[in-house]
Amino acid sequence: MDSYITAIGTAVPRYGFSQSQIASFMAEALQFDERNRRKLQTLYRLTRIDRRHSVLPDYGTSPGEYTFFPNTSDLEPFPTVGRRMEIYRKEALPLALAAIENLHQNGKTVQPTHLITVSCTGMYAPGLDIDLIEALNLPTTLHRTAINFMGCYGAFNALKTADAFVRADPSACVLVVCLELCTLHFQKKTDEDQLLSNALFADGAAAVLVEAQPNLNQPAPSFRMRTFFCDLWPDGKEDMGWIINDHGFEMTLTSAVPTVIQHGIGKALSRLLEHGGLAIEDITHYAMHPGGRKILEVIEQQLGIDSHENRFAYEVLRQYGNMSSATVLFVLKAIQKQLRSTPETGNILSCAFGPGLTLESMILEIIPATHPVQTTEVTDQIAANPAFIP
Catalytic residues: 152
Name residues whose C-beta falls within 8 Å of residue 281's C-beta, 6 or more positions apart in sequence: none
Residues 194, 249, 18, 47, CA torsion sign: positive
Nearest to 183 by CA among 69, 295, 94: 69
Q: Say what the alpha-carbon torsion angle 181, 285, 219, 332 is, to the nearest 10 degrees.
A: -10
Helix, strand or coil, per DSSP, at residue 8: strand
Rounded distance between C-alpha atoms, residue 178 and residue 206, angstroms: 5
Name residues whose C-beta falls within 8 Å of residue 244's C-beta, 6 or more positions apart in sequence: 81, 250
- Pairing of the two strands 51-54 and 15-18: antiparallel
Separation in Å, CA 181 to CA 1, 82, 296: 35, 15, 23
Nearest to 11 by CA among 80, 74, 102, 91: 102
